Structure 1
Amino acid sequence: MKYLCLVYHEETALRALSATDARKLDADSLAYDRLLENSGHLLAAEALQPVKTAKVVRKRKGKVLVTDGPFAETKEQLLGFILIEAENLEEALALAAEIPLAEMGTIEVRAMYHIPQP
């Protein structure tokens, strides 16, 4: 089954890391991606640009609205994702627990929903 691991943390805290700590976090993250890849669990992994570059799209009554955003009232921002293949939720949670940012931020694990064919 496919699981999406959404990685959340405070962007300001990441920017506050020393250059050495930031390089170590990047290296640890890439190393864990390679470990997941070599074990056959990794489907995709990407970091995201800062939230200030994000746009929000809504369509209401046929009109497309694009605004800066997101402006959620949350302390943490979505920083990236890792799409994995796991036997079950227990395995997915174990894999997510080893994501380096799990030690600082939050990892949300969600199973993929397969839309039934009509």
Structure 2
Amino acid sequence: MKYLCLVYLDRENWSACPDPVCADYAQKLVDRQVLLAGEALHPVDSATTVRVRNGQAQLYDGPFAETKELLAGFYLVEARDLNEAIRIASGIPPGEYGSIEVRPVRQLELGDATS
């Protein structure tokens, strides 16, 4: 099953974990064949939030929600179950400075739709 491990950091700890440390952990996950994708994100100041209302796109600078911790990156992993996903997430280096949210990936229910 796929799990998304979302990395959250506050502004003060955005760069606390060096990139090579994160890259080393990601490589270990690649070697174990459990990392499907992973990327670090630019700081939240570079974000644009898009909301569509009545067919019109509305753009906002930055994130729409005001929170202390901001989305800093993600790891998409393949795990047997939630327990294994949590074990993987507990090794993600920026977790020492912020938090890691683990969420199962949901398959879209397409019914009888054809492509």
> What is the TM-score normalised by the length of structure 2?
0.90
1:40-97 CA-partner distances (Å, limit 9, x unpaired) = 1000010001100100101101111111121422111100000000000000000000
SS in structure 2 opposite 1:44?
strand
Q: Which residue of 2 aligns with 1:55?
A: 48
Q: Which residue of 2 aligns with 1:82?
A: 75
Q: Which residue of 2 aligns with 1:113?
A: 106
Which runs of no fewer than 5 residues in structure 1 stay unpaired? none
Which runs of no fewer than 5 residues in structure 2 stay unpaired? none
1:10-68 CA-partner distances (Å, limit 9, x unpaired) = 123235x5xxxx5xx22211110000000010000100011001001011011111111
Matched residues, percent identical?
46
Q: 1:109 Cα deviation (Å)?
A: 0.3
Q: How many residues align?
A: 111
Please provide the CA RMSD for this pair. Answer: 1.3
Q: Comparing both structures, which one devotes a greater share of its residues to helix?
A: 1
Q: Could you tell me how far apart the structure 1 residues matched to 2:65 and 2:52 are?
A: 19
| Equivalent residue for 1:91, pick from 84, 89, 100 | 84
SS in structure 2 opposite 1:52?
helix
SS in structure 1 opposite 2:14?
helix
Q: Which residue of 1 aligns with 2:23?
A: 30
Q: 1:102 Cα deviation (Å)?
A: 1.0
> What is the TM-score normalised by the length of structure 1?
0.88
Divergent runs of 4+, >2 A? 11-15
The verdict on how the C-alpha distance between 1:107 and 1:10 changes in structure 2, with shifts beyond 3 A counting, is same
